Amino acid sequence: MYKIVLIRHGESTWNLENRFTGWTDVDLTPTGVSQAMSAGKLLKAEGWDFDLCYTSVLKRAIHTLWYTLDEMDRTWLPVVKDYRLNERHYGSLQGLNKADMAKQFGDEQVLIWRRSYDTPPPALEATDPRCERSDRRYANVDTQSVPLTECLKDTVARVLPAWNDSIAPSIKAGKRVLIAAHGNSIRALIKYLDGISDSDIVSLNIPNGIPLVYELDENLKPIRHYYLGDAEAAAAAAAAVASQGKA
């Protein structure tokens, strides 16, 4: 049996301000830093250790990994930064307030933008200053692969190659893997691993900064999963994420 740990980044400045974030590279808040440190303390206290870490190229996930590893005295571990683990691209909603959008367009429309499997939010124009295509961190990525918007289906399509080409082979080679990523890139991976239907994935929400353990069989099929620490607190934090898109 293999075990991996997934962790969504701690609270970011735009989580706090309730803004659609996507590929915008925002910082952790002090709360986010302490969530990441608590995650590291919990992992250490429960005897977890890792050989290889994966994260995105966005600093809220990278810094979460740093603070978590620092608490474990494991900042020396190898880290693979892969843009394919980035948050789902939120198109032209990036930067806008979720509750304001719900007031303007209704809770149902915002739920579709946030959680529908195959309806993407309105796209960014390639000329929009928010477009990431000229960002140097994506210089080696094919332009068409730097999205202008994404639905979860699109995110699954980019996360899965990272899983299949890189993460899964590492796990099978016996590496103990920690993945620090984002709400929707983690939802994309879980949808695939657990075979969750397009309609059921709508209600899955991932809380900030709480380690989520997946136990996998020899074919990397999930046996069970659970949050470390207080399960009720994790469920309450996930429910709070769900209601962020309400007016």
Ligand X SMILES: O=C(O)[C@@H](CO)OP(=O)(O)O
Q: Which residues are annotated as a binding site for substrate?
A: 8-15, 21-22, 60, 87-90, 98, 114-115, 183-184
**How many of the chain's residues bind ligand X (CB under 6 A)?**
12
Helices (H), 27-91: 30-45, 59-71
What minimum distance in Å lies between the beta carbon of 184 and ligand X? Answer: 5
What minimum distance in Å lies between the beta carbon of 41 and ligand X? Answer: 24
**What residue numbers does the annotated binding site cover?**
8-15, 21-22, 60, 87-90, 98, 114-115, 183-184
Chain position whose Cβ is nearest to ligand X: 21
Tell me the per-residue interface mask from 90 to 119 with ligand X, x by CB under 6 A, - otherwise.
Answer: x-----------------------x-----
Q: H or E segment at 26?
A: none
Tell me the per-residue interface mask from 171 to 210 with ligand X, x by CB under 6 A, - otherwise.
Answer: ------------xx--------------------------
Instruction: Give, as ranges, the residues between 42 and 71 that touch ligand X (CB under 6 A).
Output: none
* DSSP per-residue letters across 106-169: -HHHHHHHHH-SS-PPPPPPTTSTT-GGG-GGGTTS-GGGS-S---HHHHHHHHHHHIIIIIHH
Q: Tell me the catalytic residues.
A: 9, 87
- DSSP character for 19? B
Of 20, 50, 54, 67, the one binding ligand X by CB under 6 A:
20
Q: How far, rounded to the nearest angstrom, does the alpha carbon of residue 155 sit from its chain's CA centroid?
A: 11
Report the residue number, 51 or 154, with the smaller CB distance to ligand X.
Answer: 154
Task: Name the token pair of 54.
Answer: 């994966």
Q: Which stretch binds ligand X (CB under 6 A): 20-28, 50-58, 124-132, 144-152?
A: 20-28
Q: Which stretch binds ligand X (CB under 6 A): 16-24, 37-45, 137-145, 149-157?
A: 16-24
Beta bridge partners of 41: none
Task: Name the token pair of 79.
Answer: 């880290």
Strands ordered across the beta sheet of 222-227: 79-81, 52-55, 177-181, 2-8, 212-216, 222-227
What residues have CB less than 8 Å from 65, skipping those under 6 apart? Answer: 7, 36, 53, 55, 79, 178, 180
Cβ(8)–Cβ(32) below 8 Å:
no
What minimum distance in Å lies between the beta carbon of 222 and ligand X? Answer: 22
Residues 146, 135: Cα–Cα separation, whole Å: 10
What minimum distance in Å lies between the beta carbon of 167 and ligand X? Answer: 21
What minimum distance in Å lies between the beta carbon of 181 and ligand X? Answer: 11
> Which single residue is written with the structure tokens 């709480």?
210
Q: Which stretch binds ligand X (CB under 6 A): 13-21, 38-46, 138-146, 232-240?
A: 13-21
Give the footprint of ligand X on this chain (CB under 6 A): 15, 20-22, 87, 90, 114, 183-184, 241, 244-245
